[in-house]
Amino acid sequence: MMELQAGNGLQEEQSIFPVANRKYKDTIFRMLFSDKKNLLSLYNALNGKNYSDCDKLEIVTLENAIYMSMKNDLAFILDLDLFLWEHQSTYNPNIPLRDLMYIAKEYEKYIKEKGISLYSSRQQKIPAPQFIVFYNGNRKIGECMEHRLSDAYETVRGEPALELKVLIININEGHNQKLKESCQILKEYAQYVSKVRTYKKTLSLNEAVEKAVEECIREGILREFLLANKAEVVAMSIFEYDREWEEEILRKEEFEAGRELGEQLGKELGEKLGRELGKEEEQKNTEKERRRADSEKMRADNTERELLILKEKLALMQDK
C-alpha cells in the first residue's frame, strides 16, 4: 500500500479506514511477533543469545485455543524449551491459571505429534515451559513482577504441590529500555502504543489511531509493517483500545459499586456495633448498680449485726 499523500490523497486514503469492528480478535503484538525474524530478535534480546537461523524456532501457537474471546499470543519451542508469550494491555493476575489451561493443551498436542507413550516404563521428556507477559497497560507497575498460580489457591500449606510462575515485563515507554534497545521492533511497537494513547486523550479513538499510524510511517516507526498492513492494523488497534477503554470503565463501575457497598456495610456495621456497645455499656452499668446495692446491703447487715452484739453486751452489763 502506498504512503499517504497530502490533500485529496489523504482524504481518499482515510475513507478506507474502518471504524471500531469487534470481529478483530488479534493484536498488533501478535501480528508483529508471529514473524519468525521478529520473534527470534525478541528471544535473543531477552536471553542474551545471538541466534540467526529462524528455522530453529518452531511456532506451536494453538490457533483454535481461545479463552475469554482472545487467543494466546505466541507459543514456540527453541533450545528444548516451550515458551508461552502473551501481550496484555490490562492488568490481570489470573494469567497463571489461564496459562495452566493452555500449557496442558500444548503438551497434549506435543505428546500426540511426537508419539510419546505416557504408559512407558522409561521416563519421557518434554520441553520445559517458560511463561512471559509483555505488559503495557495504564496501571503502574515496576520493570518486572511475577504472578504465581499459588496466589490463587484458597489455602496454601507449605510448598505448593503445583506451581506456575509468570514473568510480567513492563514494555511501556520509559521501562526496560535496555531490552528495547536490543530489540528494535519491540521499541517501535512501544512507541506506536504511546502515540495512540497520547492522541486518545484529545481525539476520538478512530482519529487517534489513524494519526498515530500516519505519524509512525513518516517517522520510520514500524514503517514497512504499517505500509503493508495499514487497514488491518488500524482496525485491530481500534478494537484493542476500545476493549481496553470498556474494561477500564467496567473496573471503575465495579470500584464505585464496591465503594457504595462498603459504605452501606460500614453504616450497618457501625449501627450494629453501636447497639452492641450500648447494650454492653448498659449491662456494665446494671452490674455496677447491682454490686453497689449488694455492697450497701452487706454494710447494712454488718451494721445491724454489730448493733445486736452491742445490745446484748449492754443487757449483760445491766444484769450484773
Q: What does the pLDDT profile of the chain (320 residues) look like in tens digits?
A: 333 333 343 333 343 444 433 333 458 898 899 999 999 999 999 999 999 999 888 888 876 554 434 456 788 888 889 999 998 888 889 999 999 999 999 999 999 999 999 999 999 999 999 999 999 988 899 999 999 999 999 998 889 999 999 999 999 989 999 999 999 999 999 999 999 989 988 998 889 999 999 999 999 999 999 999 999 988 888 887 765 555 554 555 555 666 666 667 767 777 777 777 777 777 777 777 778 777 777 777 777 777 777 777 677 776 66
Quick one: CA dihedral 86, 238, 32, 221, positive or negative?
negative
- For residue 156, what pLDDT is reported? 84
- For residue 133, what pLDDT is reported? 95
- For residue 138, what pLDDT is reported? 84
pTM: 0.68
CB atoms within 10 A of CB 303: 10
State the virtual CA torsion across 255, 256, 259, 261 in degrees, nearest 10.
-110
- For residue 2, what pLDDT is reported? 34
Return the closest-CA partner of residue 28 out of 290, 228, 203, 237: 237
